[in-house]
Amino acid sequence: MNNTSPNSQPRPLELWGGLECTVNRVQDDYFSQLDRNGHALRNCDIKRFASLGIRAIRYPILWERTAPEGLDKADWSWPDERLPALRDAGVTPIAGLIHHGSGPRDTSLLDPAFPERLADYAGAVAARYPWLEYYTPVNEPCTTARFAGLYGVWYPHARDDKSFIQALLIQCRAVVLCMREIRKVNPNAKLVQTDDLGKTYSTPEMAEMAAFYNERRWLAWDLLCGMVGPEHALWKYLIRSGASEADLLWFRDNTCPPDIIGVNYYVTSERWLDHRPERYAQHHRGLADGIPCADIEASRALATPTAGIGPLLTEIWDRYRLPLAITEAHIDANREDQLRWLLEIWEAAQTSRANGVDLRAVTVWALLGSFDWNSLVTQDKGYYEPGPFDVRSPLPRPTALAAMMRELSAGQPLSHPVLRGQGWWRRPGRFLCTPVATPAALTSISADGHRLLGAGVAPILITGATGTLGRAFARVCQKRNLAYKLLSRHDMDIADPACVERALAHYKPWALINTSGYVRVDDAENEVERCMRENTHGASILAEACARLGVHLTTFSSDLVFDGRKDSPYVESDPLTPLGVYGRSKAESEAAVLAQHPGALVVRTSAFFGPWDKHNFVTQALNALERGETFVAANDMTVSPTYVPDLVHTCLDLAIDRECGVWHLNNGGSVTWFELARLAAEKAGIDAAPLAPQASSTLGMLAARPAYSVLHSERGVLLPTLENALERYIELRGVDDPEYEELAKTAETRVPAAGGNRQLQETPPEAVHGGF
């Protein structure tokens, strides 16, 4: 945790971890991240955290959880178990006492007694754990005051400047009093004070408002450092908003400068204000001091992206000259962009240190991911953002971020090929409006293009150039800025060993995704040799070659490896009992692939539908029903459909994570084909009257098929529900441009305003960033 060694030489940049632990209140409901990510009941996570090589962790000892009914009834059993385990694992806890919370039910951020009550709790924590050295009594006081006092998002749901300032002063006063009580027990205790560090840019017409936001972002740190007096740029605003001179000057008499300033930075932290709201979607529009304007992430609007966190670190260092740490680095994005975001933050930190900034560490936030931050944790809809560990598996599953963290902490070269590419926040397709010419103030700090994909980047090879799935992978790789090569059978016949060798030697891929094969289930009964060649023999040849060359392989199997006699969903470990030639070819393919290449990923899936081809069942059903034509569908075969975009995105994430073995991937839900068509029609608002249920035995299918082939995963449920998938499919079905991709996979979300404007007349949006 120290930045100098005994010989006074600077120590390497440290890697820290953070656990999303928010217990926020919305009306009378509490939203607990610790309950949702499972860490509340899982002590074994501490070994997982330590395995990443982190030196410290931002760890919760939250007031609301430990003493919700007062100190006399406090339950210390949870921190009693966890804190010593962290110490024994060699990970220093940075104790958090309030994390976007408002305390027990009988208080709030507007309660004058809040500071003293939290300080009493802080003193009790210090007395019980006198060895604790690092504390964050209140996380992000300025940001929390905005969301609870200015936007009305969290309890007590106020929406005015007076409440914002009152909540800010109460939280900052609480920090001072907490550290006073803590230092009575441990005089060496250190304050790590976090807040969101962003910056607002604007058109000239909005320059005054942008300047106000850029001053307001410092308020919590300024107060703690005793820098707020009549000479402060926002003194008049503070007084006008209800703060008394005595309340403000109290901080000059009771300074509590952070020992480490904690900088939290997100892709949404930098904002663009525009006096032309008509250029933007409705949810970006509002009023700032009565002026119509738009407020949007700078990355989504500016033609030339900002340089990111680097210049902001210089700004905060120049202002305070106090040690810094990046205490939250996280992005809600596809896996490769999560890796690229961490790399950009890490490199900016190293550059800042080389330029004389005393920057101690970078904290990878949300080690266990986070839930529903796309709605500012105001809803319980199950939206999950993975982190270094993905908690959707029975036990947290390490992702590629975990591997990258281990390399960073060990000082090893970063090895993942996908790092050689720009994140979505720097790519041409990032815009949510007509790009705005870069303001002059930004031209000197514009980002370079050193991560544009180009020659020499190891690609992903995708077989099956003429198939729905192969083309879908190519489309998504292009959108995600993943180098790829889509191969036809002419380019590489997977059942020809020499052809496979030549292709792998030529393209030098790091991963191969095999979507080719024989797909005509009925014809397979009479074309056994061809089916086995393309599905089994070819996959085995690929596996052997990929294993020998260290290439990750993803290949696909089917629900038809099961006979349907089970009365509950099939999981990965169920025995294979195919009914027909096609199912047997896939079952034998699975065994051959995993025998040749234990590191391969075999994905079982079923019943594709999606927006990018006209031949899938759902599209054909809706097209026929729209025309008023009768559409026949089996009502005695139960399946678990799969939305192709979800499948492709998830497979790419798993390939980047270098996952292996058999995985079941399908959208949660089970329906007959008839029910699927009816549900899709209902979602699309199409009359389902022409839909005709029929027994499968009358449909002329030559090959036997299981009556029940529903898939479920014992390894992790990674795809959204079927209803959710159908709703998104219907949205894309009406889009004229078939190249359109869901922005939710790359958008970091929508926020209510960098600053939230002094009077932004806007209902808080449904989606915001991923962590504040």
Greater pLDDT, 444 or 386: 386
Give pLDDT, residue 712: 97
Give pLDDT, residue 439: 65
Percent with pLDDT over 90 in the chain: 88
Q: What is the pLDDT of residues 125-136, one digit of tens each?
A: 999 999 999 999
Amino acid making up residue 324: L
Q: Where are the alpha helices (DSSP H) in 701-744?
A: 722-733
Strand partners, 201: 272
Domain-by-domain residue ranges, the chain? Answer: 14-198+214-266+307-417, 460-745
| 155 vs 67: CA distance, rounded Å | 19
Q: How many CA atoms lie within 13 A of 380 on its CB side?
A: 11
For residue 293, pLDDT over 90 is answered with yes
Q: What is the pLDDT of residues 354-364, one digit of tens each?
A: 999 999 999 99
For residue 748, pLDDT over 70 is answered with no
For residue 763, pLDDT over 50 is answered with no
What mean pLDDT is predicted for residues 268-274? 96
For residue 259, pLDDT over 50 is answered with yes
What mean pLDDT is predicted for residues 634-645? 96
Greater pLDDT, 437 or 70: 70
Structure tokens at 514: 């095999």
Residue 449 — pLDDT band, cuts 50, 70, 90? very low
**760: closest CA among 242, 278, 147?**
147
> What CATH code would you report for 14-198+214-266+307-417?
3.20.20.80
Q: Under 8 Å CB-to-CB from 440, ≥6 apart: which residues?
A: none
Residue 594 — pLDDT band, cuts 50, 70, 90? very high
295, 284 in Cβ contact below 8 A?
yes
Structure tokens at 498: 């020499």
Q: How many CA atoms lie within 13 A of 661 on its CB side?
A: 10
What mean pLDDT is predicted for residues 500-513? 97
Residue 11 — pLDDT band, cuts 50, 70, 90? confident
**583: closest CA among 610, 599, 564, 608?**
564
Structure tokens at 680: 């899709």
Residue showing tokens 């790009």: 435
Which secondary structure element, helix H or strand E, spans residue 60, and what is its range? strand 56-60
Give pLDDT, residue 734: 67
Cis amide prior to 764 (ω within 30 degrees): no
Mean pLDDT over each residue of the chain, to the nearest integer: 91
Residue showing tokens 């019980």: 128
Tallying the residues shown for the chain, one arrives at 772
What mean pLDDT is predicted for residues 713-724? 96
Q: What is the pLDDT of residues 522-532, one digit of tens each?
A: 999 999 999 99
Amino acid making up residue 559: D
Give pLDDT, residue 69: 95
What b/e sequence results for 424-443 when a residue is b if at least 16 CB atoms lie within 10 Å of its CB, and e otherwise?
A: bbbbeebebbeebebbeebe
Q: Which residues are catalytic?
A: 582
> Which of these CATH numbers, 3.40.50.720, 3.40.50.880, 3.40.50.1100, 3.40.50.300, describes 460-745?
3.40.50.720
Give pLDDT, residue 393: 96
Residue 768 — pLDDT band, cuts 50, 70, 90? very low
79, 66 in Cβ contact below 8 A?
yes
Structure tokens at 114: 């809040």
**DSSP string across 69-92:** T-GGG---HHHHHHHHHHHHTT-E
Q: What is the 3-state secondary structure (H, E, C) of 147-162?
A: HHHHCCCCCCCCCCHH
Report pTM.
0.91
What mean pLDDT is predicted for residues 153-170? 97
For residue 750, pLDDT over 50 is answered with no
Q: What is the pLDDT of residues 677-699, one digit of tens each?
A: 999 999 999 999 999 999 999 98
Give pLDDT, residue 437: 87
| 169 vs 171: CA distance, rounded Å | 5
Q: Under 8 Å CB-to-CB from 335, ≥6 apart: which residues?
A: 386, 399, 400, 401, 418, 652, 653, 656, 657
Residue 440 — pLDDT band, cuts 50, 70, 90? low
What b/e sequence results for 465-485 when a residue is b if at least 16 CB atoms lie within 10 Å of its CB, and e otherwise?
A: bebbbbbbbbbbbebbbbbbb
**149: closest CA among 83, 102, 197?**
102
**Rounded to 10 degrees, what is the CA torsion of 226, 231, 237, 239?**
70
Residue 736 — pLDDT band, cuts 50, 70, 90? low
For residue 7, pLDDT over 90 is answered with no
For residue 441, pLDDT over 60 is answered with no
Q: What is the pLDDT of residues 409-431, one digit of tens each?
A: 999 999 999 999 999 999 998 99
Q: What is the pLDDT of residues 91-109, one digit of tens each?
A: 999 999 999 999 999 999 9
Q: Under 8 Å CB-to-CB from 102, ≥6 apart: which residues?
A: 24, 25, 108, 109, 148, 154, 155, 156
Give pLDDT, residue 478: 94
Neighbour count for residue 738 (Cβ, 10 Å):
11
138, 262 in Cβ contact below 8 A?
no
For residue 351, pLDDT over 50 is answered with yes
Q: What is the pLDDT of residues 216-251, one digit of tens each?
A: 999 999 999 999 999 999 999 999 999 999 999 999
For residue 514, pLDDT over 50 is answered with yes
Residue 289 — pLDDT band, cuts 50, 70, 90? confident
| 18 vs 20: CA distance, rounded Å | 6
Q: What is the pLDDT of residues 652-661, one digit of tens each?
A: 999 999 999 9
For residue 747, pLDDT over 90 is answered with no
Give pLDDT, residue 755: 35
